[in-house]
Structure 1
Amino acid sequence: MTDPRDDQFRPDDQFRPQRDGDDEIDLTHPASPSMPTPAIDPFAAGNVIDEEAAPAPRQPRGVKGTLLVSARLLTAVAGAAVAAAVIAAAALVPIPSVVSEPPSVRVTPVADAQSRVCPGPLLRLGDETGAQATTASALGEPTITSASSGGRIASDPATALDGADSGARILSLPADSGGDQPLFAGSQFQSVARGDFVGSAAAECGEAKDDAWLVGGATTTGRTTLLVIVNPGDVSATVDVSVFSETGAVTAPGATGIAIPAGGERVFSVAGLAPGLQSPVLRVQSTGARVVATLQQMTVRTLTPGGVDIVTPAAAPSTEVIIPALPMLDHDALEAAVLGEEFLDLNTVLRFFVPGAELAHATITMTRVTSDGRNGEPVDIDVTLDAGVVTELLIGEFEEGTYSARITADVPLVAGARVSTVGSTGATDFVWLPAVSAVADETLLTVAEGDNPVVYLVNPAESAAEFAMEDADSGTRTSVTIPAGGARSIPVDGGTTWQLTGFEQLHLSVGYSGDGTISGQTVNPRAAGSSPITVYP
């Protein structure tokens, strides 16, 4: 019987050498499944490793093995790339969805009736006896010229408030039956010679606005300036008036929250809001309904009448504004008429106001206006204008003639100019010329029945303007060409209407002049008409 202990592991058998024919030493010996093989320290005393008995190092793979491994690696990489591409494609493919467009209707609103407000007669505070010193009374009546490209114009007086005379006229034109807005324009002219009030005044019949800037007037001794506000709408308007001067913003009690009912007219003395101002600029803002605001200035130097004028709104603050016509009249006659400090406002000035807190660096480009469009070399004037205050710049040293003034600045500003004239008898008059907005594509121009009217046109585009100018009464059609950036003057007859078509942009005004009288009117673009809208139920 065999002793089972004979099969147990014996330490002395662990490295027992076995020779296998060729006497090669085989160091392998199956370890016992029940006991681990003890670790052997090759550097321990008595343990010597025979280098010849050590296992031989593995030989490098052959080409076939290398290719096999490379093929496996490439297959793995390609598989990973395909998986990534599938995942990316799945992320990019839009998830199917069901979209339901809400029902809608494309509607073009019916154009509303148009309205224009003619400022009405020149006004004075009190009557000829000196009574009713705080109430405005009319000095005669202006002549109104109006026209449209379709429809009959209605004319109604505004309802005067506070006991003043009814002066302003509200012109209205119903919308075309097809929903279009016909061209519609009006202007007025008045010459007056009553006591201290001598001169002439012209004005465009303006469209109502909710924000208007008035550059002109004065409230110093001998200068009376009235603010006239008319509400041509069907609902009441609430008006706020801001006043700025050479010293900055002016606190004007009673200038906010002014209620003007539908169809109503109110007249204010600017001196009652802010007395002693040499160079005011007013901003008129309304809510509830749009209004038409104008200024009227009368000047009396001691006992000498100094002229009258109506100031219409200037172009809104912009980095480029244009005054189409700035007359430079007889310098010698003007200098001779300046007899003292009271007469200094006979000089030609540009008046600026820069809203906000940043001063403006501006360039005034003066270009002579001619009847043939050959304007000559423009003259540049560089100025720096303080913010928040009104600045006046004396303009001189120009040869006699009419110039356009193009003002460019790095911040928005508003601008206007005052020009005076002296007649053969020594009578003086003045006119305020505001910067005007550009009209585009077509416009209707009504020339008031004033003295020697001249139409002034400025082309601000970088290419020449070639367009047609047609007399609405006679049908006479005239082709007009104005070079890029140029200006032109065209004498016309008073009381006529002209339709201008085929241009890109133009700045327009009309000037009137007589012996000792001067006046002018602006030509502004009409408000945008109705445009299609999408209605969702």
Structure 2
Amino acid sequence: MTDRRTFRWATTGARVLSGTLVAAAFVVAVVTAVALPWPTLAREPVQVTATPAPEASVLTCAGSLLALGRDAAAADAVTAAAPQVLTAGVREGSPPPSESTLTSDVADSVASVFVAEPQGRTRTDVAASGSVTIADEDLSGFAASACRPPLMESWLVGGSTSTGSSGIVVIGNPGVVAATVELTVYGTNGPVVPPGGQLVVAAGAQRVVTLAGLALGEDSPVIRVSATGAPVTASLQASITRTLVPGGVDQIGAIQAPEPHLYIPGVSVVDTGGGGADASTALRLLSPSSDTTATVTVTPTGQPDPGQPLSVTLAAGKPLDLDLGGLTPREYTVRVDAAAPVLGAVWQTTGFDEGADFAWYTPAPGITVPSLFATPAGPSPAVTVVNPTDKDVSVAVDAVDGSSSTTVTIPAERSARFSLRSRTVYALEADGAVRAGVSLTGVGALAGYPVWSADTAAEPIVVYP
């Protein structure tokens, strides 16, 4: 072997050995790199937390009491019969709300709108209510209702189109754009949108529709009010005439939504001179979506034990009226527990003779934040507060002008009644979830409506630029 060949072999061997060592080192480095933790670079995304500016608080009132058929030449014509007497206010230190009126398709009818602008970044709560007393040949009684915020969907429970009964659906649009409203009537044949059940309500306007035009022949109608374009407020005026003698009138406020548990506080059963035997109490129930069974209990205010519970089967989409019997004159809370969301309202009358009146009491929604309510002009106003929880709750009811303050501890699953003054704005505050209803009771006068919770502050939102 020559020296040149020996050198070439040695060089080639060195290259192979060197390559092998480099490859092995590379493999070891890769394995080690995989096995060992790599350094990481963590960077939090830029974010900004912002709270949306609060909107103005807007309430729309039911408006004037309306009469149907006063013009013999137009039996279905609606006319204004008497204006509401209104009470409105805000918390002490807040500027008073502004008041305007809706244009109406009924001449001389007046429906007020109250607007409370926010103060800086804080929402201004406002409360308002109205009442009407009338003693005409065709319309007599006392009606009281709370002014409510507009909703995209709400429900009206009450009224009838049977002989002697009449009703008028009132829709108000306090917004700045028109609303298209659909009225779905739930009756003996289930839900139906009647020919007159679709209407357009212009911005800043009020429309009325007779109940007979929507649900002719229905003894127990329930109406769903659905709006697009803008939220609306809805109410139902109901009246009764018995053999040409007027038997009462009421303005029934809307219900926000069905619930599986209903609490209807402040139902007043009055002594008609016959030990309550002449009075009548009825409960209207509807399960809009599914068949269900409901349990009904009637508990005297302040008492620990309810009466004998009643069980009732509800068919989906078909209202049912349940006679609660002749109750002893006093105040009650009616509770409904169902396996599915339901709607309900209690009808109560002072009697069936001349000078009688009636009221529809609707369910009270849950209250978890300090909330305002107003008492209108009327007899003996009171608020009944129900504690549906399993713990004692401290409840304060204070006049916002500082003229009165009452604090009561309500035991678990009990209720308490607070006597109030008429034409006063109150603040209700509790350290637990409660439900409450205002009632006004007098000779030939009966009315009631629930206290709604104040709008909660807008939740902060996180923005990622």
Normalising by the residue count of structure 2, what TM-score does the alignment of the two structures yield?
A: 0.87
Question: Structure 1 counterpart of 2:50, which letter?
Answer: V
Q: 1:518 aligns with which of 446, 450, 455?
A: 446
Give the C-alpha shift of residue 502 in structure 1.
3.5
Q: Give the equivalent residue in structure 1 for 2:148.
A: 206
Q: 1:484 aligns with which of 395, 412, 417?
A: 412
Alpha carbons of 1:125 and 1:108: their partners in 2 closer, same or farther (altered >3 Å)? same
**Structure 1 unmatched ranges of 5 or more:** 1-85, 338-345
Q: 1:143 aligns with which of 66, 85, 88?
A: 85
Secondary structure at the aligned position of 1:139 is classed as strand
Q: In the alignment, does 2:439 pair up with 1:507?
A: no
The Cα offsets for residues 366-411 of structure 1, whole Å up to 9 and x where unpaired, read as 2111xxx344555322222222200110001533221101111111
Alpha carbons of 1:336 and 1:382: their partners in 2 closer, same or farther (altered >3 Å)? closer
Q: In the alignment, does 2:292 pair up with 1:360?
A: yes
Give the C-alpha shift of residue 443 in structure 1.
1.2
Secondary structure at the aligned position of 2:170 is classed as strand
Question: Structure 2 counterpart of 1:183, which letter?
Answer: D
Q: Give the equivalent residue in structure 1 for 2:270.
A: 329
Give the distance between the partners of 1:171 and 1:427, measured in 2 at CA: 33
Secondary structure at the aligned position of 2:309 is classed as strand
Contact kept, 8 Å, 2:268 with 2:439, in 1: the verdict is no
Q: Give the equivalent residue in structure 1 for 2:382.
A: 454
Q: 1:166 aligns with which of 109, 113, 116?
A: 109
Secondary structure at the aligned position of 1:415 is classed as strand
Question: Structure 2 counterpart of 1:250, which letter?
Answer: V
Q: In the alignment, does 2:279 pair up with 1:350?
A: no
Give the C-alpha shift of residue 264 in structure 1.
1.1
Q: Give the equivalent residue in structure 1 for 2:310.
A: 381
Secondary structure at the aligned position of 2:450 is classed as strand
The Cα offsets for residues 316-373 of structure 1, whole Å up to 9 and x where unpaired, read as 2111111012233347749886xxxxxxxx73110000011x321211122111xxx3
Give the distance between the partners of 2:306 and 2:160, measured in 1 at CA: 35
Contact kept, 8 Å, 1:328 with 1:399, in 2: the verdict is yes
Give the distance between the partners of 1:458 and 1:303, measured in 2 at CA: 40
Question: Structure 1 counterpart of 2:341, which letter?
Answer: P
Q: How many residues align?
A: 434
Secondary structure at the aligned position of 2:431 is classed as strand
Contact kept, 8 Å, 2:346 with 2:362, in 1: the verdict is yes
Q: Give the equivalent residue in structure 2 for 1:264.
A: 205
Question: Structure 2 counterpart of 1:172, which letter?
Answer: V
Give the C-alpha shift of residue 477 in structure 1.
2.4
**Structure 2 unmatched ranges of 5 or more:** 1-29
Alpha carbons of 1:426 and 1:305: their partners in 2 closer, same or farther (altered >3 Å)? closer
Secondary structure at the aligned position of 2:454 is classed as coil
Q: Give the equivalent residue in structure 2 for 1:300.
A: 241
Alpha carbons of 1:331 and 1:108: their partners in 2 closer, same or farther (altered >3 Å)? same
Give the distance between the partners of 2:37 and 2:180, measured in 1 at CA: 54
Contact kept, 8 Å, 2:132 with 2:142, in 1: the verdict is yes
Give the distance between the partners of 2:359 and 2:418, measured in 1 at CA: 20
Task: Please give the residue correspondences for 1:8-19 in structure 2 after superposition, counting only pairs within 5 Å.
Answer: none
Give the distance between the partners of 2:41 and 2:165, measured in 1 at CA: 73
Greater RCO (CA < 8 Å, at least 6 residues apart): 2
Q: 2:323 aligns with which of 384, 394, 399?
A: 394
The Cα offsets for residues 455-486 of structure 1, whole Å up to 9 and x where unpaired, read as 11111111111132222223432221111110
Q: Give the equivalent residue in structure 1 for 2:166.
A: 224
Question: Structure 1 counterpart of 2:298, which letter?
Answer: M
Task: Please give the residue correspondences for 1:367-446 in structure 2 after superposition, counting only pairs within 5 Å.
Answer: 367-369=299-301, 373-422=302-351, 426-446=354-374
Give the distance between the partners of 2:72 and 2:98, measured in 1 at CA: 36
Question: Structure 1 counterpart of 2:100, which letter?
Answer: D
Contact kept, 8 Å, 1:447 with 1:494, in 2: the verdict is yes
Query: Which structure features the higher share of strand residues?
Result: 2
Give the distance between the partners of 2:34 and 2:355, measured in 1 at CA: 89
Alpha carbons of 1:332 and 1:392: their partners in 2 closer, same or farther (altered >3 Å)? farther
Give the distance between the partners of 2:47 and 2:395, measured in 1 at CA: 41
Give the C-alpha shift of residue 261 in structure 1.
1.7
Q: Give the equivalent residue in structure 2 for 1:247.
A: 189
Contact kept, 8 Å, 2:103 with 2:204, in 1: the verdict is yes
Alpha carbons of 1:160 and 1:96: their partners in 2 closer, same or farther (altered >3 Å)? farther
Give the C-alpha shift of residue 534 in structure 1.
2.5
Give the distance between the partners of 1:377 and 1:138, measured in 2 at CA: 42
Question: Structure 2 counterpart of 1:382, which letter?
Answer: S
Task: Please give the residue correspondences for 1:85-164 in structure 2 after superposition, counting only pairs within 5 Å.
Answer: 103-126=46-69, 128-149=70-91, 150-161=94-105, 163-164=106-107
Q: Give the equivalent residue in structure 2 for 1:183.
A: 125
Normalising by the residue count of structure 1, what TM-score does the alignment of the two structures yield?
A: 0.75
Contact kept, 8 Å, 1:442 with 1:500, in 2: the verdict is yes
Q: In the alignment, does 2:232 pair up with 1:291?
A: yes
Q: Larger deviation: 284-293 or 117-126?
A: 117-126
Alpha carbons of 1:96 and 1:484: their partners in 2 closer, same or farther (altered >3 Å)? same
Give the distance between the partners of 1:382 and 1:153, measured in 2 at CA: 46
The Cα offsets for residues 127-152 of structure 1, whole Å up to 9 and x where unpaired, read as x4435544422111111111111222
Contact kept, 8 Å, 1:145 with 1:447, in 2: the verdict is yes
Give the distance between the partners of 2:365 and 2:303, measured in 1 at CA: 23
Contact kept, 8 Å, 2:297 with 2:334, in 1: the verdict is yes
Secondary structure at the aligned position of 1:428 is classed as coil
Contact kept, 8 Å, 2:245 with 2:354, in 1: the verdict is no
Contact kept, 8 Å, 1:158 with 1:166, in 2: the verdict is no
Secondary structure at the aligned position of 1:305 is classed as strand
Contact kept, 8 Å, 1:164 with 1:267, in 2: the verdict is no
Give the distance between the partners of 1:462 and 1:95, measured in 2 at CA: 55
Give the C-alpha shift of residue 276 in structure 1.
1.0
Contact kept, 8 Å, 2:266 with 2:448, in 1: the verdict is no
Give the C-alpha shift of residue 275 in structure 1.
0.7
Q: Give the equivalent residue in structure 2 for 1:193.
A: 135
Secondary structure at the aligned position of 1:440 is classed as coil
Give the distance between the partners of 1:392 and 1:204, measured in 2 at CA: 25
Secondary structure at the aligned position of 1:505 is classed as coil
Report the structure number with the largest CA radius of gyration: 1
Contact kept, 8 Å, 1:125 with 1:132, in 2: the verdict is no
Identical columns (%): 33
Question: Structure 1 counterpart of 2:234, which letter?
Answer: A
Contact kept, 8 Å, 2:131 with 2:143, in 1: the verdict is yes
Q: CA RMSD in A?
A: 2.6
Give the C-alpha shift of residue 315 in structure 1.
4.6
Give the C-alpha shift of residue 214 in structure 1.
0.8
